[in-house]
Structure 1
Amino acid sequence: MKLQRLKAAALALATVVLLTGCETMPQAGGSGGLNVLSSALGGGSGGGSRVGGVMDVFQGVSTAFKDYSPEEQRAMGHDFASVLVGARPLLRNDAVQRYVNQVGWWVAAQAEKPKDKDGKDIQFAWRFGVLDSDAVNAYATPGGFVFITWGLMQRLKSEAELAGVLGHEIAHVTRGHYLSALKKGGVAQAAGGALQARGGSNALVNTAMVNFAKNLYSKGLDQSDEFDADRQGVLYAARAGYAPIGLPTVLNMYAATGSKADVSYSLLFSTHPAPKDRLDKLQPFMTSKFSTAASVSNEARYEAIRRLLPTK
């Protein structure tokens, strides 16, 4: 059943890919354990544009990329995505899915490409999806799946804010944060569509991978990885031509409206540093890097999509 659901999700995302044109984003003239997860959900380097002096590429990309081939990362990404889509399916709205893919692909195009063990650029097969959940959260997987809930989208006010959120999740992929977590978690090395554990069967290893993903999404990544993804997410969005204040604005919204006691925010707050801490870490970066960055927000275009989202 889980495999069928993931295949359906992949088909839906493939349909979005076929429907999505090659629109450049942003357009000029814009107006400025599984039970735990399920419950919470319910309640490069090259090729990217460079905006106004936003040229810096942070060092320290995970060495874990050298341990996993692109094919192995994609296989792990499917396992991770099965956990997310198994908890909540994709929202049935082609226009919303198409729009998020357009913004996501454009932001992802600005990210640096890490190297594999042979020194070749890793080309991610980026796929973006909106989960049918009123929770406030976003997720990524190895290999390039990125998901955002419609509950979070309802609370955003502009395309720049969406770009910042997606940039944060894209950074988790391009910076190898999930691969590092896999290594720290002692999960065996990947091969083909399953992991090859020493002395274990593929079925056992697939189960171990899915269980690891459930645990990771329930507990979260290291705080240092979240701070790193914030910085890179702002950078990617700014390179794409969006106002760099997008993600900090979202973090301010989290601080003003959310708490662990609110079921809509409970998983987000339990798996991420406090919004104030994230803002404090971002402040020096924001003041030093973006004095000449673009300021496109596209509020009107975003509002047109937001009206298509479900309401509580």
Structure 2
Amino acid sequence: MKIVYLCCTVLCLSCTSIDKEMDQALNSDLVRKAGIGNTTAKSVSNASSASSSLLSSVKLIMSDIPYEDERRYGENVGLAMYATPGFGEPIMNQELGLYMNILTNIIGRESHRPGIIYHTAVVHSNEKNVYAVPGGFIFITSGLILALDSEAELAFALAHAVAAIAKKQALNAIKKSQSLRILYQASKELANLHDVPDKDFHKAVLEHKQMILTPEILLQQEADMLGVRYITDVGYDPRVAPQVLDKISISDAQKKKRHESLQYALSTEYDLDGLVVRTGRLQKMKNIIRTATK
């Protein structure tokens, strides 16, 4: 899953982002809510009001939003992703869709936001990836499903995405993108104004430093660790998690760090006796995918 936080607005397991399309879907709405674009040197009467308005916009973007808004943003993102050339067409099979959504929501009930109703779609693509979108929307590629060897592996791939949504990593990626843009705008506008104390501007940056500067790998590791916890609570053997990392396209350096954190968790935190790895359901879903994409 990739997060390119300067401009990324979607989280995915194998480090590829669809930031442009999501930005187009969400940018105007977020900007309108925050009042960005109306706050310029022309529209304010003095430096003090310029500084105050810009920083208020930053704080509004960074503040929490109602779940209904998050859900609506996710719907816009999903439409934008489907419209992206090369993203892949959804595989419209009732049995496949029911299986994926039941499994995702079973995992979701063990997450940090159990009240979310998750919607998972399988898209026809040779890529090996799963995308987490704000509001509870998940897209998983047929290429990844066909590469997996067990239902436990599938559960972990989905649990990683559930964790990114439950912990609002996907939503915060949007906020980070927008807040950086607003802070950049603020720095340019304040530089053109005279006698503006910069302490408020610096304070705003420091208040959001953790969200803005958190390294991608730490968020990936957090989602991995939570994914392991979620599938263990459901009853799947989490020792398959490293195998999933080996099947997706991530850098060797990132893979090494994520393997280290997973192995530590697996060796210290869980009673792994009697957990499930394989069922016959995954093979059946693979057959459905192969038939649907011939």
TM-score range, shorter chain: 0.5 to 0.7
Contact 1:128-1:145 within 8 A present in 2 as well: yes
Post-superposition shift, 1:276? Answer: 2.5
Q: 1:100-139 alignment to 2 at 5 Å?
A: 100-113=100-113, 123-139=115-131
Deviations 1:136-177 (A, max 9, x none): 100011110011000000000111111000000000001111
Contact 1:223-1:273 within 8 A present in 2 as well: no
Q: 1:220-239 alignment to 2 at 5 Å?
A: 222-239=216-233
Structure 1, unpaired ranges of 5+:
1-32, 38-63, 114-121, 189-220, 255-264
Aligned partner of 1:291 among 249, 267, 271: 271
Bigger radius of gyration, 1 or 2? 2
Amino acid at match of 1:274: Q
Quick one: distance in 2 between partners of 1:95 and 1:82? Answer: 23
Contact 1:77-1:144 within 8 A present in 2 as well: yes
Deviations 1:11-38 (A, max 9, x none): xxxxxxxxxxxxxxxxxxxxxx86999x
**TM-score, length-scaled by structure 1:** 0.58
Post-superposition shift, 1:224? Answer: 1.4
Amino acid at match of 2:244: V
Q: 3-state SS of the aligned residue for 1:146?
A: strand
- Name the residue aligned to 1:71: 68
Do residues 282 (structure 1) and 276 (structure 2) align?
Answer: no
Larger relative contact order (Cα-Cα within 8 Å, sequence gap ≥ 6): 1
Quick one: distance in 2 between partners of 1:240 and 1:65? Answer: 33
- Sequence identity, in percent? 28
Aligned residues: 201
RMSD (Å) for aligned C-alpha atoms: 2.9
Change (3 A) 1:156 1:185: same
Q: 3-state SS of the aligned residue for 1:140?
A: strand
Do residues 249 (structure 1) and 249 (structure 2) align?
Answer: no
Structure 2, unpaired ranges of 5+:
1-16, 22-60, 181-214
Do residues 166 (structure 1) and 158 (structure 2) align?
Answer: yes
Quick one: distance in 1 between partners of 2:289 and 2:238? Answer: 25
Contact 1:226-1:273 within 8 A present in 2 as well: no
Amino acid at match of 1:177: Q
Contact 2:62-2:176 within 8 A present in 1 as well: no
Quick one: distance in 2 between partners of 1:36 and 1:187? Answer: 16
Contact 2:217-2:254 within 8 A present in 1 as well: no
**TM-score, length-scaled by structure 2:** 0.61
Change (3 A) 1:80 1:293: farther
Contact 1:160-1:298 within 8 A present in 2 as well: yes
Quick one: distance in 2 between partners of 1:161 and 1:34? Answer: 24
- Name the residue aligned to 2:283: 303
